[in-house]
A and B are shown apart, each in its own frame.
Chain A
Amino acid sequence: MKHWTELDFQNWLYGLKEQDAHAGECAECRAEMERLQQTRRRVVQEPEVSRDFLAAQRRSIYNRLEEAPRRNWHAWRWVLSTAMLLAIVFGLTLPRWHKTAPPISDEQLFSDLAAMEQSSEPKAIQPMHSLFVQ
């Protein structure tokens, strides 16, 4: 009698083919059926997970959930601190950048200019010049 083909075994394994007379009598085919069945059982079997493993996993998840906001707060704290520091630095330096020369009145400005214009010699040569002036 003819042995089962690979397709026959697959159909049988997934319930699409009934076990026929040959499969019941042929030791070779029965051995193959047994091997396939064990393999399938092993594949579909869910891995055994210990309670300890699950508990540890749960604790890990809870810990991460609790840490998340705290980590965010740490990050925000750094951002806020940096922003405040920058604001202080800018606050202190900006006025200097924009600081212009102190305002000078017309009286002072023109008094200075007149004095400059009326001085006949540079300050640097005054000591030298004074040697020749009685």
Chain B
Amino acid sequence: MLLVAGSLGAQMPKGIYAWWSRPEIRRDLRLTPQQQRQIQATVKEFRPHLIDIRADVQKAEIDLQTQFDQDPVDAGKANLAIDRLIAARSDLTRTLSELSLKLRMVLTEQQWQELQRRRPQPAGTTNELPQK
């Protein structure tokens, strides 16, 4: 069940990072002052909820670990902990996706392409975008 949830999560936008905090990216994207204000406002709007979600996921991870460490393991409680973790991770994926969408809508097509190009990639992959 968790692996399924994990694989579902893998289809969502990955690798979000605070690119708006990096001066070199702001410069390269040529963000206008208005865009910067919109981005800051959007991030500020999502920040409290994201902090809560981070705590929820951490807590759910700890709860699940606690259930795994029990002897004997209470399957009912462990399954509840699994459900809570799935819900927290799902909320994380949804909220990050919504934030990404709002930030994408602030950017122009060119800025979005540039941002994609600059996205840190896992080792062994490239930053090349598919040709249109």
* Chain A hits for B47, CB < 8 A: 106, 109
CB-based contact A107/B3 at 8 Å: no
Inter-chain CA distance A123–B65, complex, in Å, is 7
User: How many residues of chain A have a CB within 8 Å of chain B?
Assistant: 21
Cβ-defined partner of A124 (8 Å) among B18, B65, B92, B93: B65
* Chain B hits for A101, CB < 8 A: 51
* Contact of B77 with A by CB under 8 A: no
CB-based contact A116/B54 at 8 Å: yes
CB-based contact A124/B50 at 8 Å: no
Chain A at the B interface: SS class:
helix
CB-based contact A114/B54 at 8 Å: no
Binding site for A on B (CB under 8 A): 2-3, 6-7, 9-10, 12, 14-18, 20-21, 43, 47, 50-51, 53-54, 57, 61, 64-65, 67-68, 82, 85, 89, 92-93, 96
Report 22 cross-chain contacts, Cβ distance below 8 Å, ordered by A residue.
A105-B18, A109-B47, A109-B54, A111-B17, A112-B54, A113-B92, A114-B14, A116-B54, A116-B92, A117-B89, A117-B92, A120-B9, A122-B2, A122-B64, A122-B65, A122-B82, A122-B85, A123-B61, A123-B64, A124-B65, A124-B67, A125-B2
